[in-house]
Amino acid sequence: MSAQPLDVDALLQDPETTIIVCCGAGGVGKTTTAASLGVRAAQRGRRVCVLTIDPARRLAQSLGLEELDNTPRPIADVGRDGGALFAMMLDMKRTFDEIVEQHADPGRAAQILDNPLYQSLSSSFAGTQEYMAMEKLGQLHRDAIGNGEWDLVIVDTPPSRSALDFLDAPARLGVFLDGRFIRILLAPARAGGKAYMKVFGGAFSLVTASLNKLLGAQLLSDLQTLVAGLDSVFGGFRERAERTYALLQDPGTAFLVVVAPETDALREASFFVERLQQDSMPLAGLVLNRVHTTEAPDVSAARAEGAAEDLDEAGDHALTAALLRLHAHTMRVRDRERHLLGRFTGAHPDIAVVTAPALPGDVHDVHGLEQVGAALAGSVSMLD
């Protein structure tokens, strides 16, 4: 194999590494990988917070918790030599509420939080999850540096290409805030209300009349109130989101692309790699998850099947023949996975790779996460 191995323990134990972002398509074991890395880092003396943006509850289940919320929770009995593990799941509405409460005076904050359009925006508006992910990551990193709560944040992103949408959050927010529609809604407040209306009242009346017909008077009023209330809040958020974006480009951040040894997943991984390189994000490597391994790699599929046929002809040792055929199947799958990895590394020769074996069942407890972490740290099976 031409792929260079990724030293997982060196990455986790490097004190300069403060953020690890796990991204990848859905169904490749990304959440389990993030949790496993968190457990292993905590066992090596790091104070770790694992943040999942994926709304599924697999992280909580694998850590033995019934649920996670927007507040980091300590995981009992994990961590050595001063290390500790915390976990949380992004609650985008709660994070949005926190921003409003922190960056608006109490009266304005109450007005915003009670606005029916805000309640819808903060729960389901397109892009809100990505904006809030940037905000929460920035908060966690500020806590890490300022308060010593933890020294490593591991981010488990949503599945598929939307996992990288948070990289676009600052730019999208800027386009939204600078859009013509928002400027129209903000114009009276920014220009002093009466003075503005005295000069531009006729033109603005025509605009609002049209919007009234389109949206309805109450909806337009709610929208104007909300936009005016969020103006200063959003401005501060844009600055913080841009700082977090710069933080993601910092050498202290490491992106890991998690992938399964399948054609579509590896094609998706190529997209992630190219996008991260295009945006100058520090890519640490590829985690090839769920690979097939065998204790007898020198016994080829053809040889195993031939031996099974010989046993069939002898009319004896049916169980042994069945095991030989199972080994032959595993070898064919293994060879196919090695071929797919070879194609990927041929296209991306500079990407370091680490592998984790396919497991007989789902990982649902800390012990299972420890096993996955150990497998990642000792990965050599497909890189020989």
Long-range contacts of 235-240 (CB under 8 A, 24+ apart): 235/177, 236/103, 237/99, 237/103, 237/131, 237/135, 237/173, 238/170, 238/173, 238/174, 238/177, 240/134, 240/135, 240/138
Residue 12 is predicted with a pLDDT of: 95
Across the range 44-66, mean pLDDT stands at: 78
Instruction: Write out pLDDT tens, residues 223-233.
Output: 556 666 566 66
Q: Which domains does the chain have, with CATH numbers?
A: 8-298+326-377 (3.40.50.300)
Residue 29 has pLDDT above 90, yes or no: no
pLDDT above 80: residue 235: no
Structural Rg of the chain based on CA atoms: 26
Q: In this predicted structure, what is the pLDDT of residue 236?
A: 67
Higher pLDDT, 211 or 31: 31
Q: What is the pLDDT of residues 282-299, one digit of tens each?
A: 999 999 988 888 888 888
> Buried b vs exposed e over 130-150: b needs ≥16 C-beta within 10 Å?
bbbbbbbbbbbbeebeeeebb
Residues 189 and 196: their CA atoms lie apart, in Å, by 9
In this structure, the number of other CB atoms found within 10 A of the CB of residue 175 comes to 11
Comparing 265 with 14, the larger pLDDT belongs to 14
Residue 106 structure tokens: 């109490």
Q: Where are the alpha helices (DSSP H) in 47-179?
A: 58-62, 92-103, 106-114, 116-124, 128-147, 169-177
pLDDT > 90 in the chain, percent: 17
Q: Which of 169, 136, 159, 162 is nearest to 55 (CA)?
A: 159
Which residues 6+ apart lie within 8 Å of 332 measured at CB?
301
Query: Amino acid identity of 259?
Result: V
Residue in the structure block whose two tokens are 């407890």: 365
Residue 7: other Cβ atoms inside 10 A: 16
For residue range 339-370, what is the model confidence (pLDDT) as tens digits? 888 888 888 888 999 988 887 777 778 888 88
Q: What number is the average pLDDT over the span 28-34?
A: 87
Q: Beta strands 47-52 and 84-89: pairing type?
A: parallel
